[in-house]
Structures are given as C-alpha cells and as structure tokens.
Structure 1
Amino acid sequence: MALVWLGKETDGGNSPTLWVDEATDEYVIQGFTVTDPDALTVIGAIPDDELVLRVPRRLMDHLPKEARGPDDV
C-alpha cells in the first residue's frame, strides 16, 4: 500500500480519517462502525470481507475535486 493522507475530521475526540492508496487508486477510510439496527436493516447483508462505516459528511471535503461528482464541485 502506498497510502497518502488526505485529511481528518475530529468528532468528539475521535478522528475519522481519509487516505488514498496510490498503488490501487482506492480510498481508505477510518470511521465509526455502523451498529444502528435500523440502518443495518436498510443496508442488508454485509459480506465477511467488508464492513460499513459512518463518517462525518465534511470528511468528504478532503476528496480531490476530480473524485467528486458534478453536484459536489
């Protein structure tokens, strides 16, 4: 992995963080585990090799402009 730090958002002492892996052109996100039963019902089955995170919306401000959709620019 060739992680490059893009930014973080402190939320009550915790720090959801965003990196880009330049080797794979993928984002790596540190966030909070989704445990809300209603949200998990909407999400549905989660494969064993995946997990669902929640992060503050403002963390996405650290995405490079070219990675954002047309409504976000």
Structure 2
Amino acid sequence: MRLTFLGTDSQEGHCPTMYATDRDTFVIQGWKVTDPEALAGLRDVLDGETFVEIPKQLLRFAANDRPEEER
C-alpha cells in the first residue's frame, strides 16, 4: 500500500494526520481510542481492526484527496 500525505492539524510533527492510499482508502494517524464506554459503542469489530480519534477539522483533507502542496 502506498500512502500520500494529505494534511495535518498537528504542531511539530505530532498526530493527527491524514493520508490517502492507492487503494481508494484513507489512513488516519490519531489518538488511540481506549475509553471503555466508547469501545462498548462500536459494532462489528473484526480482529486486526483498531480505532483512532481525530478532530473534525482534519476531514477537510478527505474532500480533496491530493497532497496539501498540490492544492
């Protein structure tokens, strides 16, 4: 899988960050969800799946899945 950096809201290289893949998907670098109440609300979780939390502002990069420097 190839990743293309789309954008970040982070300071000094810390997460969250959004990437597009060459498989028509996105990879999100964010904060791992560990809150038991939040995890209990998830459905149909498969082995190997994980969940990360990102700020809403990061989704603006999904609307235009080209690298930030190409916009």
TM-score with structure 1 length normalisation?
0.72
Give, as a single letter, the amino acid of the residue that structure 2 aligns with 1:4.
Answer: T
| Equivalent residue, structure 2, for 1:69 | none
Identity %: 34
5+ unaligned residues in a row in structure 1: which ranges?
67-73
Runs of 4+ in 1 over 2 A off after TM superposition: none
Quick one: distance in 2 between partners of 1:60 and 1:46?
23
Give, as a single letter, the amino acid of the residue that structure 2 aligns with 1:58.
Answer: Q
Give the number of the structure with larger relative contact order, counting CA–CA contacts within 8 Å between residues 6 or more apart: 2
| Equivalent residue, structure 2, for 1:36 | 35
Residue 21 of structure 1 deviates from its aligned partner by 0.7
The 5 A counterparts of 1:12-27 are 14-22=14-22, 24-27=23-26
RMSD: 2.2
TM-score with structure 2 length normalisation?
0.74
1:4 and 2:28 matched: no
Residue 14 of structure 1 deviates from its aligned partner by 3.3
SS of match in other structure, 2:39: helix
Q: Does the Cα contact within 8 Å between 2:33 and 2:53 map onto a contact in 1?
A: yes
| Equivalent residue, structure 2, for 1:70 | none
SS of match in other structure, 1:43: coil
Give, as a single letter, the amino acid of the residue that structure 1 aligns with 2:3.
Answer: L
5+ unaligned residues in a row in structure 2: which ranges?
66-71
